[in-house]
């Protein structure tokens, strides 16, 4: 009981009342009785950095918790930290180079490469031994990701606005140094050390349609109000 009372204290710096003891009791019961198979399939934690497509100065740390659908497709939920009070801020789909090449050209422009994130040492797998992490990075280096953030935590205390297309970095000097230093201090490593350890990883050339922002093609989402004449009349639907 005391443990549940302690949990009822506010854990997150967002507007709203503290979770009540009743809420925590209900959560405990649901956890014991319900099926959480999709979540239990999550097996990998990646820590990296994203920027809002079109504004590289807006950079955020992104903790990905990923599961495999198969060898060519992973799906990740993204939080702003790996703490119990972390905010759910987005999603990312990660596909193999083989699948990426099957996409049409316009779709390809929405995706970013992972080559620099891996080889440049900005992507980590917290808690994994270096040898294990290196092998996992070998599986990621030639993949591509499509990412949308649903909560602009750098601006809003609530998940406001339209989901934003995010991109990843492609060269040294792009990521804010304070973000890298905070991550390195927390994980007890350095980007330079990781870069050296991953130098041998085999890399394929990045597809020319990926990282479209780096070629001057920037895409971002916006909300569009539809003409009511285009919306089906629900009263007339069977």
pLDDT digits (tens, 9 = 90+) for 189-221: 999 999 999 999 999 999 999 999 999 999 999
Structure confidence by residue, pLDDT tens digits, 40-96: 999 999 999 999 999 999 999 999 999 999 999 999 999 999 999 999 999 999 999
Contact 79, 92 (CB under 8 A): no
pTM, two decimals, is 0.87
Closest CA to 60 of 48, 44, 75, 77: 48
Q: Are 87 and 151 contacting, i.e. CB atoms less than 8 angstroms apart?
A: yes
If you write DSSP's letter for every residue of 163-214 in order, what string do you get? -EEEE---STT-S-HHHHHHHHHHHT--HHHHHHHTTTS--PPPPTTSSGGG
Q: Which residue has the tokens 């005391």?
A: 2
Q: What is the predicted pLDDT for the residue at 10?
A: 45
**pLDDT tens digits for 173-190?**
999 999 999 999 999 999
Q: How far is residue 204's CA from residue 115's CA, in Å, rounded to a whole number?
A: 8
Task: Kindly state the helix (H) or strand (E) to which residue 62 belongs, with its residue range.
Answer: strand 55-70
Q: Give me the percent of the chain exceeding a pLDDT of 90.
A: 77
Phi, psi (rounded to 5 degrees) for 167: -130, 170
pLDDT at 236: 54
- CA–CA dist 63, 40 (Å, integer): 17
Q: CA dist 184 to 76, 116, 203, Å? A: 22, 17, 24
Closest to 187 (Cα-Cα) out of 41, 46, 60, 90: 46
């Amino acid at each position: 009981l005391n443990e549940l009372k302690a949990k009822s204290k506010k854990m997150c710096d967002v507007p709203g009342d503290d979770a009540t003891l009743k809420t925590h009791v209900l959560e405990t019961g649901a956890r014991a009785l319900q099926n959480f198979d999709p979540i239990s399939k999550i097996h990998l934690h990646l820590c990296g950095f994203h920027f809002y497509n079109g504004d590289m100065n807006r950079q955020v740390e992104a903790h990905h918790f990923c599961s495999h659908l198969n060898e060519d497709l992973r799906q990740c939920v993204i939080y702003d930290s790996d703490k119990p009070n972390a905010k759910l801020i987005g999603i990312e789909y990660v596909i193999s180079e083989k699948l990426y090449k099957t996409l049409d050209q316009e779709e390809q422009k929405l995706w970013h490469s992972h080559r620099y994130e891996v080889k440049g040492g900005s992507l980590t797998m917290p808690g994994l031994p270096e040898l294990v992490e290196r092998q996992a990075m070998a599986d990621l280096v030639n993949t591509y990701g499509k990412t949308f953030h649903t909560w602009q935590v750098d601006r809003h205390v609530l998940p406001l606005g339209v989901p934003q297309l995010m991109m990843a970095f492609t060269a040294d000097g792009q990521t804010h140094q304070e973000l890298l230093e905070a991550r390195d201090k927390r994980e007890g490593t350095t980007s330079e050390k990781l870069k050296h350890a991953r130098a041998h990883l085999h890399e394929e050339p990045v597809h020319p349609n990926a990282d479209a922002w780096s070629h001057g093609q920037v895409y971002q989402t916006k909300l569009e109000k539809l003409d009511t004449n285009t919306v089906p009349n629900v009263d007339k639907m069977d």
